[in-house]
Amino acid sequence: MHLRTAALVALLGASPPSFAQTPQTGNVFNPNISAIGDFLASTGHNEVNPMPSLALHEAELGLQAIVDPYARGDFFFTFGTESGDVGVEEAYITFLNLPGEFLLKAGKLTGAFGKLNTQHLHTRLFADVPLPMQNLLGSEDGIDDSGISISHLIPAPAGIFLEGTAQLFRGTTENLFYAYTRSDVEPLFHLKGYGDLSESSNVEIGVSWTRGSNLQGPGFHTTLMGLDATFRWKPLRQGLYRSLIVQAEFYLSEQQMPGGTVRANGFYALAQYQLGRRWFAGYRYDQSEHADNASLRDRGNSVMVTFWPSEFSQIRAQWRQVRYELTTGTSPASELILQLQFSIGAHGAHAF
């Protein structure tokens, strides 16, 4: 053993092995690491979908880095308060330079269905999700599944950004889709158009479509269609102090059930206005039928105020009133939700 070491040293000459010289290279290639906490407190009355009084609703861990000259990798793990409440929210590779200017993603990713479905919790403007997402997209997490995604820029008149995305998922999403066999894959298509109206305002419009096997049993499908529209205003000179976002989404669900197909729809419309450098106020109206019973329609109203102590933390208060319709009658709810979000580390910037 000693002899072998001696031989090695002789082989290398006077200098020690190279790994001893560069102990830090491992850190250089570490990904950007970030953690974001979402803490919720709520009070008031809600018999249908109550939130806990106090909860670390979610902790998100992000690991992001360039994989190699061809691709980047993004991992987002989420942790809840209950034991075992751990999940891969997203984990995907993005090939940035494919021939034909395609952008290819593969892994677990959120479906490109409208706006809200692609947003992580901490980028949403309200503490909860609107009723149509809860009722028609399965849960507050929406369509989030293993699959592949390919997108391409579509030639358009000058200044118009037009992008088509086609995705293919395994076909299993909480409360929405279930792949009974390997052929129960879920295709999803999204078309996004964007244009600047001026240097301070712009409009984005999208249409989405997807179809998968639903939870009623093999052979039963749910088709979802979505329309989204967003208007943004931010005067560049006063951009630190003033901005406005108006956004609306409409979802249509066609769920095949043993008794026939249920067509249910829902929408939300929200506005957020920036009052000052760190203050934002917003209003949201939302309503949605139930995916399995279109004669029941829940309606909600919310107002919120958000304060950002810095770019890395935010405090939000939301007053939410909902009138749930149940087969047994209506159930009114009104709640005050307080949200505290805090972020550490290097979290990659989000797309628009």
Amino acid identity of residue 243, one-letter, is: S
Are 299 and 268 within 8 A, CB to CB? no
Stretch that binds other proteins, among 89-97, 137-145, 182-190, 320-328 (CB under 8 A): 89-97
Nearest alpha-carbon partner for 136 in 263, 248, 12: 263
Stretch that binds other proteins, among 20-28, 78-86, 155-163, 165-173 (CB under 8 A): 155-163
Report, in Å, the least distance between residue 352 CB and other proteins. Answer: 5
Contact between 72 and other proteins by CB under 8 A: the answer reads yes
The residue from 48, 86, 153, 154 that contacts other proteins (CB under 8 A) is 153
Contact between 73 and other proteins by CB under 8 A: the answer reads no
Contact between 278 and other proteins by CB under 8 A: the answer reads yes
Contact between 8 and other proteins by CB under 8 A: the answer reads no
Distance CA 49, CA 156 (A): 44
Contact between 47 and other proteins by CB under 8 A: the answer reads no
The residue from 18, 53, 68, 101 that contacts other proteins (CB under 8 A) is 101
The residue from 221, 234, 299, 323 that contacts other proteins (CB under 8 A) is 234
Give phi and psi for 133, each to the nearest 5: -70, -45
Which is closer to other proteins, CB of 281 or CB of 326? 281
Residue 84's alpha-carbon distances to 81, 329, 341, in angstroms, are: 9, 35, 22
Stretch that binds other proteins, among 36-44, 133-141, 188-196, 261-269 (CB under 8 A): 188-196
Contact between 250 and other proteins by CB under 8 A: the answer reads no
Distance CA 133, CA 267 (A): 9
The residue from 39, 77, 161, 220 that contacts other proteins (CB under 8 A) is 161
Query: How many Cα atoms sit within 13 Å of 100 on the Cβ side?
Result: 7
Which is closer to other proteins, CB of 79 or CB of 241? 241
Distance CA 264, CA 293 (A): 7
Who contacts 88 (Cβ-Cβ below 8 Å, separation ≥6)? 75, 76, 77, 78, 108
Nearest alpha-carbon partner for 127 in 79, 76, 58: 58
Token representation of residue 17: 């092995």
Report, in Å, the least distance between residue 313 CB and other proteins. Answer: 10
What letter would DSSP give residue 129?
Answer: -
Nearest alpha-carbon partner for 173 in 81, 109, 120, 225: 109
Amino acid identity of residue 197, one-letter, is: L
Contact between 195 and other proteins by CB under 8 A: the answer reads yes
Contact between 28 and other proteins by CB under 8 A: the answer reads no
Who contacts 27 (Cβ-Cβ below 8 Å, separation ≥6)? none
Contact between 348 and other proteins by CB under 8 A: the answer reads yes
Stretch that binds other proteins, among 48-56, 121-129, 288-296, 307-315 (CB under 8 A): 307-315
Q: Which residues bind other proteins (CB under 8 A)?
A: 69, 72, 94, 96-97, 99-103, 153, 159, 161, 163, 192, 194-196, 199, 202, 204, 234, 236-241, 277-278, 310-312, 344, 348-352
